[in-house]
A and B are shown apart, each in its own frame.
Chain A
């Protein structure tokens, strides 16, 4: 029998009105129920019957990014990935402060939690046109076969804030994203109109799930360590 593996629209891990008053039910109905859904549908129709059919979403994103010469399904695959990641980055009664290893690295790499927030906020306000802003864990790994870092240190792996246009995400550059905010205007226009600064402030103060970010950091660190070990074995 023919097996058709369709990628599915994952619902946010909370009900659509549970981020109110910070993000309205109407915004989520449109943003998740319509924009996100349309990317899933479009992606499924573009990959049906191609070499991408049956691959996992991560692999589709990397394959279609095609080292910077994106194939047609890329924008939809990446937008599905980004939106899944965005919904999971926030929660009702979020905000507050991170703790443990995450806080430690934030303080090491940005000086303080508030300086990291400032940098994140500034990136979100200056992203021109549609796009995303990220906190990511950048492992020191070059995609060049024979490149070797002569003096590797723990600090090579660090937290960074960066922005990306339209659908691009740092995952395609081999970074491990930890947190993202959607700064496409559809993400905030109904609730905040053109006051993006308010949206970004509320996102950081009331919505971010630092538990999820911490958990992602653990995975990212483990992934980087596993790879470093593998590289050593190879060399």
Chain B
């Protein structure tokens, strides 16, 4: 079923509570992601960042509350949403090559039973080219570096040609080339009016890369434009005592401004 867009926000989350065995992982989260934004989800380990992404995708059933994609259920809007899981969530020894993995992004459009053909192959090659991986199309995936594997995942999301992109730690443990390639693609997506939500770990790059942010620690601590929300006070509320340690290590965070400091 083709998804539909209308005036409603791409992602609308209301009173969302998720629990593993009565232990809340997300507690009463409200969130509206505005159209055409690049949003970071930031928070300490165990804050429920991945859980939030998976709940939006219907992979985890919430205990309460609801997720709406352009004011409809996810199931109705599947074709509008692309997903980049954590790189470590799959077995890279699987017997296949980069191009084949990218083509998997088209499976949703193909539906059951229909086989991928030359069209899918062409789209997959174009996407690999976009992330600078065209030379590796035929490469067995276990022979790719971590950063290259991440770019293959990004290319797979690109061929989904979605309105909304949900990415779980795409910058985790990647080289500088890959980081640059990913952020370039994310900015292109935003320029094309797509909405991108990224689970992100590196606080220092948040002001440089993203325009919106959700500070999450089981509850939604604060959400909105980076310039207003990404303040030391809010971060301290999100990270608790750990924040002072982070600040001491990374130096003062510049709230809202374009931080030029980069991790090596």
Tell whether A pairs with B.
no
Chain B residues within 8 Å of A, Cβ to Cβ:
none
